[in-house]
Amino acid sequence: MNNKIALPRLSEVSDYDSISCPSKAIRRGMHCPLFGCTLIMKYINDMAFLIVGTDECGFYSKEILKVTSENYLISPVYTYAVEEYDVIYGCSEKIINSLKEIQQQEKPSAICVISTCVPELIGEDLKGVIKKAQSSINTSIIYCTAHNFKENSHVDGMSDLLECFTQIMEKQNKVSKTVNIIGYRDDDIINTELYQHLMKNNIKITTSIPECGSVLKLKSATSASLNIVVDPIGLKLAKKMKEMFNIPYVVFGKYADPEKIMNSYKKIWKVLDIKEDKELILKEQELINKWNELKIRNDKVSFVYCNSRLISIDLVMMLVKYGFEAKAVYVISKNDFDREEFDKLKKYNTNPYMMMLTDFSVNDLLVENLKPTLFIGQMREQSIEEYNVKNVSTNEVESNLGFCLSKAMLDAINTALNS
């Protein structure tokens, strides 16, 4: 490839976490883990948050809340802005005083302390501080880390914050035929295939995390019989709830592969004692047939994959399985679903360039040099025209959970190919 940026191929990448940025001087980069935590904050109305970090951490969080929340200015998100003195001498007493002030001001059901790069780097024992504070503050205090030198992006931030919600959960008796939906943040869940299937079988949804709305609802999660994880940000939480409360989980990811979707349904049926759904079995077969039609195309189709609503690596594997050539694959921001699929991709007969998308200017360079038939992901109109590439953008595929989503993606790919 005629460019100054060295791109490794899949065969040169030993594991998912070794996938790296194409350039050393990263332009823009991925969002910080704190960004991810801030995106979740709006969902739990009676939880206050204390960000322990620099002024910038707090400033940018408020800027994000301005976009995501009503009444952002008085939303219970506080910043303790660490100063030089704190770095040298510590700030435990000041943090405790801050927590007391927040408790007095907000009277929240819980307070979450979010520790960012600076306190983590200096080794401020915030867990110990919280334990000390708890003796004089009559509100549950939980602790979450969001440091960008260990975590990659906002996805990790969301994932870690969700996991830390287990700190306020307590064991409860299980109620049969109930589930939690973990990780859902899209449009109304009642329109999804999964939800409608659960309702059809009289399965009650105990709560949806993070959209549950309150600390009480969060706590109620431990009465569910099953956790259904629909987004990678929920996987750590589900694993922790299995460990702490013995609540099983099923990953119901946004797969392209109909067999994986059916596998997820079967696991749900087994745990919840639901009969096989003939309609869904038929849907699976229809979808498999539709995917098979890709095999009989005469033309050689190549693609660069950037992003979509589906699990990236799963979609890439499906396209490769049906004879498409993967020229380059971006990881937008690393996530646990992709991480779990990565080793399978290594076994496929494909060797695309692999990189972390942190610099959109590389998009054009790749398309110009690799000349793929298809570009899957967000691309500027100008670039689509300039490089004469067929584009499948996320916007063309409506969000859903189940076979519908895989079919919608397949339809979008076919539409682009036939355009």
Residues 6+ positions from 112 with CB-CB distance below 8 Å? 47, 48, 49, 50, 141, 142, 143, 144, 161, 164
Q: Please, which residue, 54 or 414, has the CB nearer to another protein?
A: 54
3-state secondary structure of 21: coil
207 versus 333: smaller Cβ distance to another protein: 333
CB of 59 or CB of 187, closer to another protein: 59
Tokens matching residue 44: 């739990």
CB 393, min distance to another protein, A: 20
Q: Which is nearer to another protein, 122 or 175 (CB)?
A: 122
For another protein, the binding residues (CB under 8 A) are: 4, 21, 23-35, 54-56, 58-60, 62-63, 66-67, 71-74, 77-87, 91, 94, 97-98, 101, 105, 117-118, 121-122, 147-150, 153, 358
Residue 123 or 275 with smaller CB distance to another protein: 123
**What's the closest the beta carbon of residue 116 comes to another protein, in angstroms?**
9
Closest distance of CB 91 from another protein, Å: 8
Burial readout 255-264 (b: 16 or more C-beta within 10 A, e: otherwise): bbbbebbbbb
Indicate the residue among 56 and 398 with the shorter CB distance to another protein. Answer: 56
For residue 73, the tally of other CB atoms under 10 A from its CB is: 9
Tokens for 178? 């109930």
Phi-psi label, residue 55: left if phi above 0, alpha if psi -120 to 50, beta otherwise: alpha
User: Taking Cα atoms as reference points, which of 84, 80, 58, 62 lies closest to residue 71?
Assistant: 62
Return the number of the residue (292 or 361) whose C-beta is nearest another protein: 361
Taking residue 204's Cβ as centre, other Cβ atoms within 10 Å add up to: 13
> Do the beta carbons of residue 146 and residue 116 sit within 8 Å?
yes
**Chain position carrying tokens 């020229």:** 327
CA distance to 10, 62, 178, 193, 290, per residue, from 286 (Å): 32, 48, 30, 16, 6
CB of 111 to another protein, least distance (A): 13
The whole-angstrom separation of Cα 194 and Cα 252 is: 9
CB of 78 to another protein, least distance (A): 5
| Min CB(301)–another protein separation in Å | 33
As measured in angstroms, the least distance from the Cβ of 207 to another protein is 29
- Give the pair of three-digit tokens for residue 121: 């780097």
Residues 6 or more apart whose CB falls under 8 angstroms from that of 226 comprise 178, 179, 180, 247, 248, 249, 250, 268, 271, 272
Two structure tokens written together for 170: 């307590």
Token pair, residue 137, equals 């503050």
Query: Could you tell me if 286 and 402 are in contact, meaning their C-beta atoms sit under 8 angstroms apart?
Result: no
What values do phi and psi take at 239, rounded to 5?
A: -65, -40
Q: Closest distance between another protein and the C-beta of residue 60, in Å?
A: 4
Cβ 150 to another protein shortest distance, Å: 6
Q: What is the DSSP letter of 122?
A: H
Q: Which is nearer to another protein, 179 or 362 (CB)?
A: 362
Shortest CB 34 distance to another protein, Å:
7
Instruction: For another protein, give the closer residue by CB, 83 or 243.
Output: 83
Which one, 25 or 190, has the nearer CB to another protein? 25
